[in-house]
Amino acid sequence: MAKDTTSPDLRGKRIGGCEIIDIIGAGGMGTVYLANQLALNKKVALKILDAGWATEPRNVENFLREARLAAKLEDEHIVAIYDVGTDQGFNYIVMQLAKGETLKDRLRRGALELEEALAHIEGAARGLSVAHHHNITHRDIKPANLMVGEDGIVKIL
């Protein structure tokens, strides 16, 4: 199945208790939006399953099931999941807004120093270890899915 490569402009729309502010990025099976979680007045990342993928019930089930499993993980190296569900025909995940830059973007500026590279590897490995301890496999670890925070801590997206 070909994925839907267009990200709808949902700015101002309310989905899953969040008001969408802007698009952060798109890829894989969904689009990630910057949003305000209204009840907490907190900035979050809102991932919405692309319409092309949502036409298959199995894709929707997998998307929601994997989010519910990931929500059980608590570690500084894993982005926290706050909510998951379906609203107005949109399947969504509300998660921690990770600040910083992806490792992919960081690598575009040049090679990492050995100590920095080892710190990022260790952080990703710690997060993956927590996930694997809960029988969860990420299946898409790559520099674009690792966020390097302003504090240097790597978070798995």
| Catalytic member of 9, 22, 105, 140 | 140
Q: Are 144 and 154 in contact (CB under 8 A)?
A: no
- The reply to whether 140 belongs to the active site is yes
Q: Scanning the structure block, which residue is given the tokens 């399953």?
A: 49
Contacts of residue 4, Cβ cutoff 8 Å, sequence gap at least 6: 50, 51, 52, 53
Contacts of residue 141, Cβ cutoff 8 Å, sequence gap at least 6: 124, 128, 156
Catalytic site positions:
140
